Structure 1
Amino acid sequence: MKNKIPDNVVFSEENGYNASVLPYATNVGAPAISIDNVVNWKKVGITNVNKELASKFKELKAEYEKLMQEYEWNEILYNAKYSFEPIIGEVYHLYLAKDGSNFLSLIRSDQWDKEHIGSFKLNSNKKWIPADENEAFF
């Protein structure tokens, strides 16, 4: 039977005792070689990325909804009846006529008894915006 060499000794038939040339530690007191656990790191990374993407999606969705609301109000205002050319920066009032159509007027809602929908200004880009800057579209 061959001489049994202990497990903690690095020996090979070709190289002999070659522990000093190996790129890793070979004695019992050396730190253990272990593979890093990247699963937890990946989970944390995925969770953080998903939260960031969900937040960005919510922002984009809110911005899209706001844009669609602006579009709808502009469509209503451009399709309303009026017999004058609106001036940029002036306040105009949108009313509901008895026949169900919308019309635009210079007359404020407190000056007559019509169903007032809202007050708007035409900006320099020819886009209708709420007259009160603190007020969003209805």
Structure 2
Amino acid sequence: MVQAYNFLASWQLFPEKCVYESGNVPKSGNYKIESILNGKSLQISMNWITIENEAYYAQFSVVPDGSLQPCEYQEFADTVAAEISDTSKLIHIFFKNNQQVLSVQHRILPNGYLELFYQGKNTNGTEFVNKEVYHKQMSVLPYASSVGSVAIQPTKQGMIKHKALSAMEAQTNMQLEQIKQQIELLAKQAQEIRKRRELSLMIYDAQMNFKPQIGQIYHLYENKDGNYLLSLVAPKEWAGKGPFKQFVATVQLLADHTWVEVA
């Protein structure tokens, strides 16, 4: 089952990237592909939530060797065949009374997303094509879409599971957001410290004819020879005739003896 490796994951739906010609449009979903029976079969699990907050679930297994196998949802299809043509393409075809009723093509996109194309017929005989796009799921909430696949009725157990997982998802997302904000704050602080260190190294390597005092404001210039000069004189006080190449920054000495740029 080496060719199936790229598909083995829990995939979360991108509702805004999907296109539906048939079925109810889900608001969230998950599509999970696992290897079972020592790698001989694939197990497909689908969970999804409708706009009306109804929870749906479907699961079936198939051997991806191209052969016809009994379908676990006889009310939908008698047999199913699956085949992995290469490491980025997996096809499921469902048959009812020896007639193809649905084709599901899985394709791994260059950006790592999973794209599914459902091709089938509605109950009135009209053909439809649904497209779904997934990314690898980072959370544990098993929603899925797959409205063009197997028709499964909502269950009380599914709703109970959905509510519990929704509460858990909200809590973990809140905690992750707090950690994210803390990381962003620490990263900003680290960047500011790094900037102060670089500025401080520049100033301590500069020429200065006095002892700087903590809290005082000074002005850093670059001399014509490429060296730096720390001065008490502000740029406007030179009247454009200072003995330097260019003004660099107005700085202040902090209590920890690092320097910070000030406006």
Q: Match for residue 251 of structure 2?
A: 120
Percent identical? 21
Secondary structure of the structure 1 residue equivalent to 2:209: coil
1:97 Cα deviation from its structure 2 partner: 0.7
AA aligned to 2:252 is: K
1:118 Cα deviation from its structure 2 partner: 1.5
Q: Of Structure 1 and Structure 2, which has the larger fraction of its residues in strand?
A: 2
Q: How big is each residue's C-alpha offset from its partner over 1:18-55, in whole Å with a ceiling of 9 and x where there is no partner?
A: xxxxxxxxxxxxxxxx7953322222222212211111
Number of aligned residues: 99
AA aligned to 1:120 is: V
Task: Sort the Cα spacing of 1:82 and 1:48 in 2 relative to 1 into closer, same or farther, 3 A.
Answer: same
Query: Which 5+ residue runs of structure 1 have no aligned equivalent?
Result: 1-33
Paired residue for 2:183, among 47, 54, 57? 57
Q: Indicate whether 1:95 and 2:221 are aligned.
A: yes
Q: Of Structure 1 and Structure 2, which has the larger fraction of its residues in helix?
A: 1
Separation of aligned partners in 1, 2:255 and 2:209: 20
Q: Match for residue 171 of structure 2?
A: 45
1:61 Cα deviation from its structure 2 partner: 1.0
Secondary structure of the structure 2 residue equivalent to 1:67: helix
Separation of aligned partners in 2, 1:74 and 1:60: 21
TM-score for the superposition, normalised by structure 2: 0.34
Q: Match for residue 25 of structure 1?
A: none
Comparing 76-85 with 37-46, greater Cα deviation is found at 37-46
AA aligned to 1:110 is: K
Task: Sort the Cα spacing of 1:89 and 1:43 in 2 relative to 1 into closer, same or farther, 3 A.
Answer: closer
Query: Which 5+ residue runs of structure 2 have no aligned equivalent?
Result: 1-156
TM-score for the superposition, normalised by structure 1: 0.60
Task: Sort the Cα spacing of 1:51 and 1:107 in 2 relative to 1 into closer, same or farther, 3 A.
Answer: same
